[in-house]
C-alpha cells in the first residue's frame, strides 16, 4: 500500500488524483490533503478517503474545516506553515499541485523526506529550478513530471542514451485563439480565455494556454527536468492534443507519446510508476480522429512564448521575473482590470525594468518574485488608469 499526500487537493489535478486513488482504495493510504480555503470539497474528500490530516492554507477557514470534519477522525490544521508540515509527513508519494509560487515551499518541504514528488506545479521549476533540483539531489528524492507534456517526454526519454537526444519537441494545442488575429484578440473576455478547446483546466493555466505562456513555462521546466540545452527544446502547435510531446534522437528516430487529452493519464503514470495502473479515460481511436495537424507557433500573435524563450536563454533570475509578472497580469485579466493583449505587455515591461542577480537560495527566489510582482502590479495600475 502506497502512502500518498495531495497538496492542492481541490484543484483540477488534485481532484483527478483523488479520482484515481478512490478507484483503487486498497492500493493507497492517504496521509494528508491540503487546499487553500475550499472547506466543503476538502472535508468531503478527506472523509471519503479517510485521510489522516486535512489542511487549509487560509487559517481563517480552519474553524469551518474543524466543524466539517467533526466526528470523522480526520485531524484539521490551518496556515501556510501547516501546509509545509503536511508536506513533510511520511508519505511515499506526494502530488505537488498547489498553483503558482505559493506551491514552492510545500514542494520543497515534500522533497525533504526523500520520497517521490509528482510535480504539477510548473512555477516551482520555472522560478527556482536550480534550487529545486539541488534539493532533489540533496535528499535523494525522485521528481516525476505530471504535466502531460513533460510526462510524455519522461516516457520517451531514454536516460541511458541522453547524449543521443538531439531535440525535445513540446506540443501545444494553440489554445482557443490560435486562428484569431491580433485585432480580434483585443476584446477577448476571461470567459472566452478559460474555455480551452481540448483540456479541462483551472482558470490560470487556461489563460496561460490561450497566450501560449503555458508552453513557454514548460520549455523552462523541461530544461530543468531533462539533460538538454535550451537550443534543443522546441515547440510545435498540434491542435488535436493527441501527441503530448516527442523526443528526437541522433539517428533521426522520433518517439512520441499519444493519448486522449485527460490529465488522469499522466497522473496515473506518475502515481503507479514504475508500474502502470488502469484508468477510466477514453481510449484513443485514431481512425475516428482521422488526421493529426502540425504548424509552427506564431510569435507575433503570441509574444509570451518568445518572452519565455528569451528568459530561458538568459537564465539567472529572468525566468522568476517572467513567472511573477505573468501571475500578476493573468490575475488582473481575470479580474477584468486589463485586456488580454496587455498580459504579454506587462510581462515584457517588467522584464525590461527589473533584472536582478541570479538567486542561489529559496529566500532570494521569493524576494525576486515579490519585487517583480510589485513592479508588474504598478504596471497594471497604469493600464487601469
Q: Is the pLDDT of residue 385 over 60?
A: no
Chain mean position to CA 38? 20
pLDDT, averaged across the chain:
94
In this predicted model, what pLDDT tens digit does every residue of 80-101 receive, in sequence order?
999 999 999 999 999 999 987 8
Q: What is the pLDDT of residues 349-377, one digit of tens each?
A: 999 999 999 999 999 999 999 999 999 99
Is the pLDDT at 199 greater than 80? The verdict is: no
Per DSSP, the three-state class of 343 is helix
DSSP letter for each residue of 153-168: HHHH--GGGGGGEEEE
Once rounded to an integer, what is the mean pLDDT over residues 299-314?
Answer: 96
> Is-contact 5 271, C-beta < 8 A?
no
Question: Is residue 99 within 8 Å of 202, Cβ to Cβ?
Answer: yes
The pLDDT, as a whole number, for residue 101 is 80
pLDDT tens profile 228-287: 999 999 999 999 999 999 999 999 999 999 999 899 999 999 999 999 999 999 999 999
Strand pairing partners for 6? 33, 95
**Rounded CA gap, 292 and 231, in Å?**
25
308/87 Cα distance (integer angstroms) = 30
| 319: Cβ contacts below 8 Å, ≥ 6 apart | 126, 127, 129, 220, 308, 311, 312
177 near 210, Cβ under 8 Å?
yes
pLDDT of residue 150: 97
Scan for cell 538538454, then name that residue.
228
Provide the pLDDT for residue 200.
Answer: 62
What cell numbers appear for 371 in the block?
A: 519585487
C-alpha cell at 342: 496587455
Residues pairing with 93 in the sheet = 4, 116
Res. 4: pLDDT tops 70? yes
Domains, the chain, in order of start with CATH, read 2-145 (3.40.50.720), 148-261+283-300 (no CATH), 315-385 (1.10.1740.10)
Amino acid at each position: 500500500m502506497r502512502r500518498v499526500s495531495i497538496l492542492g487537493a481541490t484543484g483540477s489535478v488534485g481532484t483527478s488524483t483523488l479520482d484515481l486513488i478512490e478507484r483503487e482504495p486498497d492500493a493507497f493510504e492517504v496521509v494528508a490533503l491540503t487546499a487553500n480555503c475550499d472547506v466543503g470539497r476538502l472535508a468531503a474528500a478527506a472523509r471519503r478517503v479517510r485521510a489522516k490530516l486535512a489542511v487549509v492554507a487560509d487559517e481563517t477557514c480552519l474553524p469551518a474545516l474543524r466543524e466539517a470534519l467533526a466526528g470523522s477522525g480526520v485531524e484539521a490544521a490551518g496556515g501556510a506553515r501547516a501546509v509545509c508540515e503536511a508536506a513533510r509527513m511520511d508519505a511515499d508519494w506526494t502530488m505537488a499541485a498547489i498553483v503558482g509560487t505559493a506551491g514552492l515551499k510545500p514542494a520543497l518541504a515534500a522533497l525533504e523526506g526523500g520520497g517521490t514528488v509528482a510535480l504539477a506545479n510548473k512555477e516551482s521549476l520555472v522560478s527556482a529550478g536550480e534550487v529545486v533540483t539541488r534539493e532533489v539531489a540533496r535528499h535523494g528524492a525522485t521528481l516525476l513530471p505530471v504535466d502531460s507534456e513533460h510526462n510524455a517526454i519522461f516516457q520517451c526519454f531514454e536516460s541511458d542514451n541522453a547524449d543521443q537526444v538531439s531535440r525535445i519537441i513540446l506540443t501545444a494545442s494553440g489554445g482557443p485563439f490560435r486562428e484569431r488575429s491580433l485585432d480580434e484578440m483585443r476584446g477577448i473576455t476571461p470567459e472566452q480565455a478559460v474555455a480551452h478547446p481540448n483540456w479541462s483546466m483551472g482558470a490560470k493555466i487556461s489563460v496561460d494556454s490561450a497566450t501560449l505562456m503555458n508552453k513557454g513555462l514548460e520549455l523552462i521546466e523541461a530544461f530543468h527536468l531533462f539533460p538538454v540545452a535550451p537550443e534543443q527544446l522546441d515547440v510545435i502547435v498540434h491542435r488535436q492534443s493527441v501527441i503530448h510531446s516527442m523526443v528526437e534522437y541522433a539517428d533521426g528516430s522520433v518517439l512520441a507519446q499519444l493519448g486522449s487529452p485527460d490529465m488522469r493519464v499522466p497522473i496515473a503514470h506518475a502515481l503507479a510508476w514504475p508500474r502502470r495502473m488502469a484508468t477510466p479515460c477514453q481510449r484513443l481511436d485514431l481512425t475516428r480522429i482521422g488526421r493529426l495537424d502540425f504548424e509552427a507557433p506564431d510569435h507575433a500573435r503570441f509574444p509570451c512564448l518568445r518572452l519565455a524563450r528569451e528568459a530561458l536563454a538568459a537564465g539567472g533570475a529572468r525566468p522568476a521575473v517572467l513567472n511573477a509578472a505573468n501571475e500578476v497580469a493573468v490575475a488582473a485579466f481575470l479580474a477584468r482590470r486589463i485586456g488580454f493583449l496587455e498580459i504579454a505587455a506587462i510581462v515584457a515591461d517588467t522584464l525590461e525594468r527589473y533584472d536582478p542577480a541570479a538567486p542561489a537560495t529559496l529566500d532570494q527566489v521569493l524576494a525576486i518574485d515579490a519585487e517583480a510582482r510589485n513592479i508588474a502590479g504598478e504596471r497594471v495600475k497604469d493600464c487601469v488608469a
